[in-house]
Structure 1
Amino acid sequence: MSASAPEDQHSAMRAADLSDLLGHVNTCWDNERRALARQLHDSLGSSLTALTMHLGLLTAKLPQEPALLDRATQMKNLLHTIIETNRQMQHRLWNDKLEFLGIRVALSELVTQFGEQHGITSRCSLPDEEPMVPRSHAVVLLRTLEEGLRNVTAHAGATEVDVIVDDNEDEIMLTVKDNGVGPGSQPAGTDGKYGLRVVRERAVYLGGRLALNGNPDGGSALTVILPKPVPQAS
């Protein structure tokens, strides 16, 4: 055995340990974000809704003086702004549609919103039935889509985006394709670089893989493939 063999084995074990640690950290991070989003919804959200109702009752009892009614209207508008900000914060922390409505709805709505916001033709091809995968897999699919769409707006210069999900018995695959300039044509920003690295490590932790490649006809394709867990024998 060569002298470098023990060092190579140690390096491989260390890399595996780091990958496992990063996967655990990401899982804990997801759980904390989910819990915080739920708290914002259950506590702050319900309190703001109650305040809106109380303000409506008080406004109905106010003397019909323009100055008082104008102040009540300003307070109502401010409350609505806070409610909407709270809703957006919840969504940024955790996409509850992924949990309550499923992968198909969460991915489809994200693609639709992206197209409307950026004026880019955005298409989404999904399985006819809801994919049967754990929440951890669904989160990686959603994060991959978010990073893929972020890359399109930051670097690709694309006018069209296609999001394709293929689901079979052994694995599930998501691809984000665009007709832009392709990977490597423009320098990647720090956020995008590390965003993709984090998603790649998430995929590796689940036994999958992620790749960003150029298309022969132009543009780029970000693909993540995740193996499905083997059902436990009863």
Structure 2
Amino acid sequence: MRLTLSTFKNLSLQKRLPLFVCLLLTGAITLFSIISYLSIKKFELKAGEQRLLDLTQQAGNMFSESIREDYTNTRRVIADTIIPAFITKRTELLQKQADSILEQIGHSGSSLYAEILDTNYNPLLSAGDPFYLPDKNSRPHYVKKIMSGDLYGHNDSVFYSLTLPVMEAGKLTGYVTRYRFVKITSKMVLQFSTLAGYGAKLYVANKNNSFCTDLFKPVQYTLPVDQTQADKSYSYKNENGTRMVGAFRFVPDTPWLVALEFPYSVIVQGSSKFLFWLLVLGTILIICGITAAWIIGKNLVRPLNQLTNAVTNLSSGEFAEVPVNRNDEVGKLAQAFNEMTLSLKDAKTKMEEKINEAEHLNTQLRKLSAHQQNIREEERKRIAREMHDELGQLLTGFKMDVQLLKNHLPAGSNERVKEHIQSMTSLVDDAIRFVRRLSSQLREGPLEDLGLIAAIQWYTQEFTRRYNIPVIFNCLHSDISLPPQVKTGLFRICQESLTNIARHSNATRVEINFDIQNNELLLTVKDNGKGFKTSTGARTGSLGLLGMNERAIMVGARLSLHSEIGKGTMIKVAFPINEKEAFI
């Protein structure tokens, strides 16, 4: 069967799966290759680490055997009774004989200097060149079971010492110290390079990190791991950023340690070559996969693009149908999309009608709320007038009657009666003051008499007096011209804000700013209280905040709220105003 473009377009997705399986096989082969590479790399790294440990052990044993041989040779030379006898008797003949022995061990081979010391390490006799000796504070002392002293350097040379006890009749009489030069020949270097391989670095250092050498000259090197990691491999990056793998161990019978390091790239170079060929094979497979994907995508992307454009237009509110010209799964998807588009179009029409209806109801509710608010304000004013005129007059008349009764009491009246009359007078005065204050609050006396700015300033003073919370009121204007409803709304918002602060915030300071900027009247109430999360529904949905927001909307203002836990709360009201017509 000849596969043409037209027949390919009518194939089902199920028949196209073999092509996708080809890509999946390509991925599986690549995954298998990567896993193989990682396995080889892991094995190679493990083998390299074991080789490091073996080489480090061989190097440590080599140094230990060399020191042990020097120690044994020196012990054999000084085994004669001449040196113990010299330390004890110190005759001229014994001195000459001891000097001969020191000349023998102080100038032989790589030895530079030898000396005889008493038990307090004071020199008695020496032979050789003292130029290469360490300073007095670094002179070696005998340590049991330790055959050599610390390494030390002079110019570009490396030296060490051997200190042996001198015994006579089982008693310690002194010491013999022999200083030797670490001499590395080109043959030894060649043997080490052959044994260790390219890029290897060998370091010998004192355990106390006082000195280190690469066996050619002193070097600056610090063990990158703790000394408890002896006989274990480690990995780190050196000062050049090169990753190194190494191991170290202590040299037996010495205060030294030997460390051997390789570049990480040298250890895994075999797996790196494998990775190169893996990349070559992977590139070929990727090219094949891209070719197959292009053939498949060319057929699938075209109708999918049509669907994508239709969905984009749908998100913009355009309900356009896509053409259906195929019978496979993509064609069925296009047909289902067209049916969904018709359903969404019908649902959108119904939703727009409900939204318009809801907006109309919301407008009516706001008007009703504003009307009820105006009725409440008028009722408050009426009650305030009634309290001021009727109840105030009754209390004043009652006070006058009490005063008249007090004035007509006989001179010898009961003192207790006088005290009761005086108490009644005080109670009446308190009642009159209470009625006046309540009447003023109900009818917004300062707002009607003094204006918005003066009323807010008066209320902040009353708030401070009542709750003992300082309020700072910042305003650069004496008064502004606003409609009565706007004045009332802003004043009530300020009242409600301060009430909420007193009830909930635990604030110790409140700041109110009243200003006009960019044709907007800005009223800001800020406290330093405990604050709250504005995302918490229970808090943002409180009746006090909702009431302030409704008041702002009714007078044409915008109310915003910002609060953080521990940083206080800020309420900001912005009302559009004409700056040229606002001031009086």
Scaled to the shorter chain, the TM-score interval is 0.7 to 0.9
Which residue of the partner structure matches residue 54 of structure 1?
401
Select which of 217, 225, 234 maps to 2:574: 225
* Aligned residues of 1:155 and 1:188 also touching (Cα < 8 A): no
- Cα deviations across residues 147-188 of structure 1 (Å, max 9, x unaligned)? 111222222222211001113694422110111222338x89
Cα root mean square deviation, aligned:
2.9
Select which of 428, 432, 440 maps to 1:83: 432
Select which of 353, 366, 387 maps to 1:40: 387
Map of 1:17-166 to 2, 5 A cutoff? 17-64=364-411, 65=413, 66-166=415-515
Which residue of the partner structure matches residue 167 of structure 1?
516
Select which of 7, 10, 13 maps to 2:357: 10
Structure with the greater alpha carbon radius of gyration = 2
* Aligned residues of 1:183 and 1:212 also touching (Cα < 8 A): no
* Aligned residues of 1:166 and 1:172 also touching (Cα < 8 A): yes
SS in 1 for 2:406: helix
Q: Which has the higher contact order (CA 8 A, sep 6+)?
A: 1
Moved over 4 A (4+): 187-190
- Cα deviations across residues 9-38 of structure 1 (Å, max 9, x unaligned)? 111111111111101110111011011101
Structure 1: 5+ residue stretches without partners: none
Normalising by structure 1, we get a TM-score of 0.86
Give the share of equivalent positions with the same residue, in percent.
Answer: 28
Partner Cα separation in structure 2 for residue 75 and residue 181 of structure 1: 45
Partner Cα separation in structure 1 for residue 518 and residue 375 of structure 2: 28
Partner Cα separation in structure 1 for residue 487 and residue 537 of structure 2: 26
Q: Compare 131-140 and 50-59 and name the one that shifted more.
A: 50-59
SS in 2 for 1:164: strand
State the 1:97 CA deviation.
0.9
Partner Cα separation in structure 2 for residue 188 and residue 3 of structure 1: 30
Partner Cα separation in structure 1 for residue 561 and residue 480 of structure 2: 23
Q: Compare 155-164 and 4-13 and name the one that shifted more.
A: 155-164
The residue type paired with residue 406 of structure 2 is T
State the 1:93 CA deviation.
2.1
Give the aligned length: 230
The 3 A distance-change label for structure 1 pair 85 and 202 is same
Normalising by structure 2, we get a TM-score of 0.36
Which residue of the partner structure matches residue 335 of structure 2?
none
Select which of 193, 205, 208 maps to 2:554: 205
The residue type paired with residue 9 of structure 1 is N
Structure 2: 5+ residue stretches without partners: 1-347
* Aligned residues of 2:446 and 2:458 also touching (Cα < 8 A): no
Which residue of the partner structure matches residue 31 of structure 2?
none
The residue type paired with residue 402 of structure 2 is L
Partner Cα separation in structure 2 for residue 124 and residue 134 of structure 1: 22
